[in-house]
Amino acid sequence: MNLRFVNRQVHAFLDYPVAISLMAMPFVLQIGDANPVARWLSVVTGVAAFVLTLLTDHELGVWRVLPYWFHVAIDRLVGLTFAVAPLALGFATIDSMYYWANAAAVLAVTFVLNANEQGVRNPSLAAAN
């Protein structure tokens, strides 16, 4: 079984629900009650992820102006940011767990499960796949 099943199409179908989840879940889980930065970091990231998805050149992009490799690079940067944010911003227990779980998911999808795409223009991403 090939673990690298998150191809461009699968990634496109994950993007919108993930963006909406990043906007909604802080309110559902009461993230940021102790530190409002924890809530708004997720919400702002969700809005940015939604816009990024609209602008990405993949199956569900509306205005396909950004290459897919750029989208994946931004996702990886978000994953790394989420991994460091609890320590750098002093988040409490539930807030920290929320960000570390999201970081693990994003990094797993973009590094471990990400399928090698034909025509990847960025050599650093091609090497990581």
Check residue 111 and give its pLDDT. 86
Check residue 2 and give its pLDDT. 67
Measuring CA to CA, how many Å separate 98 from each of 20, 41, 59, 86, 106?
15, 12, 29, 9, 12
Distance (Å, whole) CA 71 – CA 60: 13
Under a CB-based contact definition with an 8 Å cutoff, are residues 25 and 46 in contact?
no
Q: What is the pTM of this model?
A: 0.85
Q: Does an H or E element contain 101, and which? A: helix 93-107
Distance (Å, whole) CA 65 – CA 89: 33
pLDDT per residue of the chain (129 residues) written in tens, 0 to 9: 567 667 778 888 899 999 999 999 999 999 999 999 999 999 999 999 999 999 999 888 889 999 999 999 999 999 999 999 999 999 999 999 999 999 999 999 888 877 676 544 544 444 444
Domain residue extents for the chain: 8-128
**48 conformational bin, left if phi > 0, alpha if psi -120 to 50, beta if neither:** alpha
CA 37 to chain centre: 18
Check residue 67 and give its pLDDT. 96
91: Cβ contacts below 8 Å, ≥ 6 apart: 34, 35, 37, 38, 85, 99
